[in-house]
Amino acid sequence: MGHLACDSEIPSAPSPAPDGGLADVGSVSPDVGADAQLPDAEGGADAQWPLAQDSGTAADAEEPADGGTGPVDASSGSDAESSQDSGLASDVGERADGGAEAVGDAGTVEAPCTTDAACRAGASCQVVLSSDQSDLELRCAPLVGAVASGGSCTDGAECKSGLCLDGFCSSPCLGAGDCTPAAHCEPRPVTIGSLTESFSLCLVAPCASSQGCDPGEICSDVRQGGGGVESFCRRPHAGGSALGEACQSSATCESLLCPYFQVCSEVCSSDLDCSGIASGICVDTFFSSSSVVQACAVGCSRSADCPLGACVFASDSVGDRVRFTCAPPHGADATGADCSTANHCAAGMCLSNYFNGQKVDSICTQPCITAADCPAGYGVCADVTVSHSSGGTQIIQLCNHP
């Protein structure tokens, strides 16, 4: 029987390698049948999410930038609150002449409106000061920027409505039908100067896969905010490498997402979402203390399946199981090396052998299908029973010495 002794460590800082979710595994022993616990993917410190290989920062993962400095803020209740801190606050772009009432190049406010449909061509429904500057209201006004509602933005000046919410251009609405398919209509407070009023605005909703995006868009914009890790739809990057292609930088991918396993990827909720990648599987990829976002990776069962990398440990919290994916090695130690933690092992697994209830040794190991998949001296492909925190079990095969 096998014993899987888990190390619940998740790295405390972003790393090019997927240290989050590594497991120390125990081995088959003739007399000990204790099951092991897998590491809890949410058990580490905040913001523990392996980012793109090239930076180790949120830049390649498209973390929303702080908004601009325009005079109008749409927030969760406090003025000029950054979207990075709360995931809620946003900025409305500065008006062309700096005045709160003058909107757009012409500086003129037109008829009242509830949605863009009420405005003429070249104008949009915008939040402005009333003529007596006593409250806020919706009126048609000349376009501020060129980006339509639902498009990515870092400042309201980029948006047709002058309104950038949570990194996406927004617009007033009466219902979901006034928004793009990837957005919903929700009340949000908007502040101009000392005045704050709530308006129904189009808000881009997080996506769980590209199936929830507008046609032609990809669910691959992963962001770290006050609510944890979330993913959003984005337009493909023209000229970028296709899903499943090798990458070193997110900037080279059509999806603008190059996770730790170094293939251009997209967010997923099951293996069915990964049909665009050969042998694609859906694994935990980005972590925070409160959430996990999964992405498509190349699955494997042995090192021979990964000619350009190693077959390493990965977790699938949705499927409640251990997976293996082709990726750069976790650590420098090969199968057979002594280990005290999985972080040092190439495949991210440390196997502990027991005899008569006593630990004999702990060695780095790797997945296998048959003994031929294991290196010389460690040619036993052993069944190991994994116990999950949910109470379920799983049998995986790992290399061990005789």
pLDDT in tens, 192-241: 888 999 999 999 888 999 998 888 899 999 988 767 888 999 889 999 99
pLDDT of 48 above 60: no
Half-sphere exposure of 387 (CA within 13 A, CB side): 14
Phi-psi sector, 56: left (phi>0), alpha (psi -120 to 50), beta? left
Higher per-residue pLDDT: 168 or 57: 168
The pLDDT assigned to 290 comes to 77
Burial 337-351 (b: 16+ CB within 10 A, else e): bebeebbbbbbbbbb
pLDDT of 162 above 70: yes
Length of the chain: 402
Q: Which of 54-58, 247-251, 259-263, 295-299 has the lowest mean pLDDT?
A: 54-58
pLDDT of 43 above 90: no
pLDDT of 46 above 60: no
Q: How confident is the model at residue 182 (pLDDT cuts 50, 70, 90)?
A: confident
Q: How confident is the model at residue 167 (pLDDT cuts 50, 70, 90)?
A: confident
DSSP count for the chain of H helices, then E strands: 1, 20
Write the pLDDT tens digit of every residue in 253-304.
999 999 999 999 999 999 999 998 999 999 999 888 778 999 999 999 999 9
The pLDDT assigned to 265 comes to 97
pLDDT of 102 above 50: no
Q: How confident is the model at residue 334 (pLDDT cuts 50, 70, 90)?
A: very high
Amino acid identity of residue 279, one-letter, is S
Structural contact between residues 380 and 402, judged by C-beta atoms closer than 8 angstroms: yes
Secondary structure element (H or E) that encloses residue 83, with its range: helix 83-86
The pLDDT assigned to 204 comes to 87
Radius of gyration of the chain (CA): 25
Contacts of 30 (CB under 8 A, 6+ apart): 355
pLDDT of 379 above 50: yes
The strand pairing partners of 74, in sequence order, are 90, 190
Q: Per mean pLDDT, which of 159-173, 181-195, 291-305 is the most reliable?
A: 291-305
Structural contact between residues 259 and 284, judged by C-beta atoms closer than 8 angstroms: no
pLDDT of 29 above 50: no
Q: Are strands 36-37 and 90-92 parallel, antiparallel or unpaired?
A: unpaired
The pLDDT assigned to 1 comes to 37
